[in-house]
Amino acid sequence: MQLRSQIPYYKPTGAECDLFETAYDKGLPLLLKGPTGCGKTRFVEHMAAHMGKKLYTVACHDDLSAADLIGRYLLKGGQTQWVDGPLTRAVREGAICYLDEIVEARKDVTVVLHPLTDSRRTLVIDRTSEELTAPSGFMLVASYNPGYQSVLKRLKPSTRQRFLSMSFDFPDPESEIAIVSSESGLEAGRVAPLVRLAGHIRALSGMDLEEGVSTRLLIYTATLMAGGMGVDRAINVAIIEPLTDEPDVQTALRDLVSTIYG
């Protein structure tokens, strides 16, 4: 659970904030689509803090089951007690529940979500024989990266069509410079070449790169530079090494850095 007293920095790139608030007001679930590190999670954190709502964030993975979301019986002090999972707590409290990379979760998770994403707005807890009706303050938000979808990991249309949906992408250069500078404390003039480098890497084709440089990695790089680390080393540990393990690709990326920085 996350409840922040300060609103996390987020620079809107369109009408996404208005759509989020409208979805919340109407009790509609929201699905965010976009590449890794483009700001989906920060956007949800920003909106939850802006609206004064508790936020439960769940990082979905292969082993995430419905029980991990709903809850389970645990042994405490020699007695078996029911412990709510994050989704159940969010429903009971009228909070926002954010499922990050929902396609990574097991299939039984989406089955649990279906009654919460239609007019019923209910959560059935079989183990306790409860059927919870989500209050007006509850909101379900999920995200995924369409670029990572495969035959084995694909969000079913029956699930996808239960959500409002909007696409995210990397910010335009001017906005990305402002974001990275604000988050890292590095002056905009030194951030600009990093953003230019990211643009070139994202535009590359024919390289063994699953994705381009995320805004998150740019913030890491700028943070290291603001702390006194040299440009080449910061870029190496925060951009090149995270992007690829292939020596030939790393060499090509370092050559690209040289053309940007001279």
- Mind listing the pLDDT tens digit for each residue in 76-123? 888 899 999 999 999 999 999 999 999 888 888 888 999 999 989 999
Cα 174 to its chain centre, rounded Å, is 22
Query: Would you state the structure tokens that stand for residue 27, as one six-digit string?
Result: 């009790």
- Picking from 31, 123, 40, 137, the residue whose alpha carbon sits closest to that of residue 85 is 123
* pLDDT score at 153: 67
| pLDDT-wise least confident of 54-63, 140-149, 252-261 | 140-149
Strand-strand pairing, 30-33 and 139-144: parallel
* pLDDT above 60: residue 151: no
On the question of pLDDT at 4 being above 60, the answer is no
pTM of the model: 0.86
Query: What is the number of other CB atoms lying within 10 angstroms of the CB of residue 48?
Result: 26
Residue type, 143: S
What's the confidence (pLDDT) of residue 200? 92
pLDDT band at residue 195 under the 50/70/90 scheme: very high
User: What's the rounded Cα separation, in Å, for the pair 110 and 101?
Assistant: 12
- Taking each helix axis from N to C terminus, what angle separates 215-226 and 173-184, rounded to the nearest 10 degrees? 50
Scored b (16 or more CB within 10 A) or e, 244-256 reads beeeebeebbeee
